[in-house]
Amino acid sequence: MEHELTVDSELKSRLIHYLDTVERIVSDTAAFTAEQAPQVAHEIVAWHFYSHMFGAVVLAALSIIVAAIATITYRNAEKIDPVATEVVQLFSYVIGAILTAALLGFSISNTSEAIKAQVAPRLVVLERIADIAK
Residue 8: inside a domain: no
**% pLDDT > 70, the chain:** 95
Cα–Cα distance measured from residue 121 to residue 40, given in angstroms and rounded to the nearest whole number: 12
Residue 12: inside a domain: no
Residue 28: inside a domain: no
Residue 44: inside a domain: yes
Q: Are the beta carbons of 63 and 95 closer than 8 angstroms?
A: no
DSSP per residue over 19-64, as a string? HHHHHHHHHHHHHHHHHHHHHHHHHHHHHHHHHHHHHHHHHHHHHH
For residue 97, pLDDT over 90 is answered with yes
Cα–Cα distance measured from residue 117 to residue 35, given in angstroms and rounded to the nearest whole number: 22
For residue 105, pLDDT over 70 is answered with yes
Q: Are the beta carbons of 78 and 93 closer than 8 angstroms?
A: no
pLDDT of residue 83: 84
DSSP state of 82: S
Task: List, for residues 24-54, the tens digit of each pLDDT value.
Answer: 888 877 777 788 888 988 999 999 999 999 9
Residue 95: inside a domain: yes
Residue type, 116: K
pLDDT-based confidence at 4, cuts 50/70/90? low
Domain that holds residue 78: 38-133
The residue with greater pLDDT, 132 or 33, is 132
Residue 4: inside a domain: no
Report how many domains make up the chain: 1
Q: Worst-scoring range by mean pLDDT, 27-31, 71-75, 90-94? A: 27-31
Predicted TM-score (pTM) of the model is 0.69
Task: Provide the 3-class DSSP secondary structure of residue 17.
Answer: helix
pLDDT of residue 13: 82
